[in-house]
Amino acid sequence: MSQATVSDNVWVPKEFNLLDAKIFANGHPWSLYRKMRECGRLIRHNGAGDIPDFWVATHHDDIRAVSHDTQRFTSNAGFNFPAAGKYPPPAVASAISRNIINFDPPDHTAFKQMLMPAFSPARMKALEEHTRAFVTELLDQFQPGQDVEFVRDISSVIPIRVLCDLLGIPKEDENKILAWTNLMVGVNDPEISSTPEQSLKAFMEVFAYGKWLIKKRREDPKEDLMTLVANGELGGQLLDETVLDGMCATLIAAGNETTRNAITGSILLLAEEPAALKLLADRADLTGNAVEEFLRLTTPIIHMMRTAKTDVNIAGQHISKGEHVALLYGAANHDPDIFADPERLNLERSEARKHLAFGTGIHLCIGQRVAQLEMRILLPEVIRRFKNIDILEAPRYLLSNFVSGIKKLSVRLS
Ligand code: HEM
């Protein structure tokens, strides 16, 4: 059978450009995702800057197939597509390209096992207790009828506290960590990081902070995630400095921004759909499923990337060795072959748990239980205290092609 030539390929619609953060200026472009899903399976995307033309996967089945096929796809050549195709400066690029999210087996397997004790049932139980107490203390500050900027006042506060608890970061450093993660993830948003140098500086400060904490945990181990990172070994050696830098940056950024946006996005969905708010208030038993439905509809990570290690065929499409594939999780989470009436918020949806917001396969998010725990505690507590959530101003979204984020959400809780 003759192989399709490049000119035969289906290309993404011209309105879509994964390398342009502005495409996500109003959140996920759901209608463009639909258009792409309908026009083919793996579709072609123009490269830019350092990135050659690449493939985009928008179907649930194809993202699963690529993510699970670690024989033929690697994460080693990078985990995402930088906006405008411009890689970060070498000092940042080398660290963020050497951490768990970029590793393939067997290093990845060893690395993940090393971190798993921090997510044990006993640790999760302790984290749950702390989170419950903290959420209560935080929400006690707000009275019915009060206007709040939900991101600043609530959804940015909880994940950073929980993450610092998990990692073993002292409470007094929380604000510093929060400011750094905003700058690291907001590199393409001029309102957050006015120059690329600001973002670079934040990475450097995180690396220096990580070194300080790792030294402390080597001298005086505790029961936290940073103790595992500080004292963990690969091939009989302690982790080298670049891996440690990358790990600190990944854990701090991955655990914070994502969960914050899942929480803010859930509140926005509930504010837009008072019937769903009422249903959740009346049916606490729906909380677990509702959280999965919120994760499906918010999909805080826009995409991840894989690279073909060999020529490979996915859904009838030939992908050549060395070519990159973008996994568009938002598109998969609206795939009508998996989710009936995918645009609709349905807290009772039986297939909600099939969402790919946490990825799938060996790199499945290590922090998913932490994020779910925060959402399962916070959302019912907000709903118990406030029967109405009214949007005061249109939400403002983060300019990023990687994290689907809401920067500002002003609401009245009553
Ligand atoms: C709603 C919240 C979250 C979302 C949507 C999310 C999303 C993701 C996704 C999509 C991946 C898969 C990467 C891939 O396949 O290449 C991932 C991996 C990862 N996440 Fe999360 N994440 C969240 C919360 C967290 C938290 C709370 C932590 C830390 C405590 C965390 C740490 C990580 C790490 C370390 C990895 C790499 C795992 C590996 O390579 O095996 N994430 N996350």
* Percent helix / strand / coil, the chain, rounded to 5: 50, 15, 35
Ligand 1 center to 9 CA (angstroms): 32
pLDDT above 60 for 3: no
Predicted confidence band of residue 184 (pLDDT cuts 50, 70, 90): confident
Residue of 163, 263, 365 with the most ligand 1 atoms within 8 Å of its CB, for mutation: 365
Integer Cα distance of 393 and 396 in angstroms: 9
Q: Does the CB atom of residue 363 touch ligand 1 within 6 A?
A: yes
CB 396 within 8 A of CB 261: no
Question: Which residue in the block uniquely carries the two structure tokens 């995409």?
Answer: 303
Predicted confidence band of residue 316 (pLDDT cuts 50, 70, 90): very high
Mean pLDDT, range 187-194, rounded to an integer: 82
Ligand 1 center to 341 CA (angstroms): 27
Q: Specify the residue with its C-alpha closest to ligand 1, atom 6.
A: 358
This prediction's pTM: 0.96
Burial class (CB in 10 A: 0-12, 13-18, 19+), 393: exposed
Predicted confidence band of residue 300 (pLDDT cuts 50, 70, 90): very high
Ligand 1 center to 368 CA (angstroms): 7
Q: What pLDDT does 7 receive?
A: 54
Ligand 1 center to 365 CA (angstroms): 3
**Residue type at 243?**
V
Ligand 1 center to 201 CA (angstroms): 24
Q: What pLDDT does 4 receive?
A: 44
Atom of ligand 1 nearest to the CA of 256: 27
pLDDT above 90 for 191: no
Atom of ligand 1 nearest to the CA of 99: 40
Q: Does the CB atom of residue 187 touch ligand 1 within 6 A?
A: no
Q: What pLDDT does 6 receive?
A: 54
Integer Cα distance of 269 and 292 in angstroms: 13
Q: What pLDDT does 186 receive?
A: 86
Q: Specify the residue with its C-alpha closest to ligand 1, atom 1.
A: 259
Q: What pLDDT does 62 receive?
A: 98
Q: Does the CB atom of residue 166 touch ligand 1 within 6 A?
A: yes
Q: Does the CB atom of residue 405 touch ligand 1 within 6 A?
A: no
Residue of 162, 257, 258 with the most ligand 1 atoms within 8 Å of its CB, for mutation: 258
Structure-token pair, residue 34: 């639909």
Structure-token pair, residue 136: 């209560």
Ligand 1 center to 163 CA (angstroms): 13
pLDDT in tens, 83-119: 888 888 887 888 778 889 999 999 999 999 999 999 9
Integer Cα distance of 73 and 104 in angstroms: 9
Q: Indicate the average pLDDT of the chain.
A: 94
Q: What pLDDT does 2 receive?
A: 38
Q: Does the CB atom of residue 357 touch ligand 1 within 6 A?
A: yes
Mean pLDDT, range 165-174, rounded to an integer: 94
Looking at beta carbons, which pairs linking 59-62 to residues 24 or more positions away fall under 8 Å?
59/315, 59/331, 59/332, 59/335, 59/337, 60/332, 60/333, 60/335, 60/337, 60/338, 60/354, 60/356, 61/315, 61/335, 61/337, 62/314, 62/315
Atom of ligand 1 nearest to the CA of 225: 30
Ligand 1 center to 2 CA (angstroms): 40
Q: What pLDDT does 185 receive?
A: 86
Least-confidence region, from 20-34, 67-81, 94-108, 295-309: 94-108
Atom of ligand 1 nearest to the CA of 115: 35
Integer Cα distance of 53 and 171 in angstroms: 45
pLDDT in tens, 215-255: 999 999 999 999 999 999 988 899 998 889 888 889 988 88
Mean pLDDT, range 170-185, rounded to an integer: 91
pLDDT in tens, 336-388: 999 999 999 999 999 999 999 999 999 999 999 999 999 999 999 999 999 99
